[in-house]
């Protein structure tokens, strides 16, 4: 059990190796292969001081990175307040069901509320293992359609 959830922003103090290790595990889970240059660019975007893409790392009590969340701000067509899309959330399998995912969601929620966003939202697969958490903290309201380009 994770005794406390130490959440830190992904920023210029973040070691790329800590993030890459987790991100590679996440990509493996999704059966996605990205070139190193794309991963480096994503990390660069995450660590930009005033960028729209932001993130958090979840640290174990021993200060080991065991999870992350990435979120991105964007404009709303109908309202002046921005929206925020929780693009990626991942916790290492051995560390799941201990409150880390909830801590990451709450950290993102707190951050985007401070920025004046009117909604934090995300999508997941119907049978995703974290649906029980998502169903407790958010309302599922939409059906998502995709056109592969």
Rounded to an integer, what distance in angstroms lies between the CA atom of residue 76 and that of residue 46?
21
Measured CA to CA, the distance from residue 45 to residue 65 in angstroms comes to 19
The Cα 71–Cα 73 span in angstroms is: 7
Global pTM value: 0.86
C-alpha–C-alpha distance, residues 7 and 107, integer Å: 7
Structure tokens at 77: 């067509």
For 105-121, what is each residue's pLDDT tens digit? 999 999 999 999 998 98
- State residue 40's pLDDT score: 94
The pair phi, psi for residue 112, each rounded to 5°, is -75, -30
pLDDT at residue number 36: 94
**Domains of the chain from N-terminus onward:** 6-137 (3.40.630.30)
């Amino acid at each position: 059990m994770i005794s406390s959830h130490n959440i830190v922003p992904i920023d210029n103090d973040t070691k790329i190796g800590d993030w890459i290790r987790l991100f590679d595990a996440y990509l493996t889970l999704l059966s996605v292969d990205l070139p190193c240059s794309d991963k480096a660019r994503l990390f660069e975007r995450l660590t930009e001081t005033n960028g729209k893409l932001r993130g958090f790392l979840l640290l174990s009590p021993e200060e080991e990175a065991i999870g992350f969340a990435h979120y991105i701000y964007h404009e709303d067509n109908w309202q002046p307040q921005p929206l925020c899309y929780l693009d990626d959330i991942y916790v290492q399998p051995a560390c799941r069901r201990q409150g880390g995912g909830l801590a990451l969601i709450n950290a993102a929620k707190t951050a985007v509320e401070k920025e004046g966003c009117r909604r934090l939202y995300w999508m997941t697969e119907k049978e995703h293992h974290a649906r029980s958490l998502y169903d407790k903290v958010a309302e599922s309201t939409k059906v998502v359609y995709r056109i592969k380009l």
